[in-house]
Amino acid sequence: MIDMTRQNALTPNGHVRARHAKPATTRSTSTSAEVGEAHANRYPKHEDPTKGQVYNGVCNTTACVGRRAVWLNRGTFGLYCTTCARGQNRYNEVPICIPVDRKPTIAEMDAHHHAMMADMSALRKARHEQTTEPYFSNS
Ligand SMILES: [Zn+2]
């Protein structure tokens, strides 16, 4: 059993060291100020706690190493680069990803999530009322 406790994962100015500089198994107890609040329901839960959780940092998409993640996905509570965010929004009339100007708090993320659900619900309702109309012809 090797206990490799890293106590110094942060540089003096609070920045997380480059990823290649720390082992993938590092369980950092020091979530840096950059990460901010991480939503309990975020998806996926990357080994690197900063991936998709730092504003303007690395994109939340597993296979993406894009930076400048400034889009919040209102379903996964992760931050995405513009390319991924546009890709996700493309097939959804109610945008899943919205641009943010900083990392939202958990309360704000929940509010964004509820707003999205409300928009989707309203859209479904509008659709339903449209498409069911012909079925009510009882003549
Ligand atoms: Zn991306």
User: Hey, is 5 helix, strand or coil?
Assistant: coil
The answer to pTM > 0.85 is: no
More confident residue, 1 or 55: 55
Query: How remote is the CA of residue 83 from the centroid of ligand 1, in Å?
Result: 6
Query: How remote is the CA of residue 121 from the centroid of ligand 1, in Å?
Result: 28
Whole-number Å distance between alpha carbons of 88 and 82: 10
Name which of 82, 83, 74, 79 is nearest 102 in CA terms. Answer: 79
pLDDT tens per residue, range 116-126? 999 999 999 99
Query: How remote is the CA of residue 108 from the centroid of ligand 1, in Å?
Result: 22
pLDDT tens per residue, range 71-83? 999 999 999 999 9
Q: What is the pLDDT of residue 93?
A: 93
End-to-end Cα spacing for the chain: 79
More confident residue, 26 or 87: 87
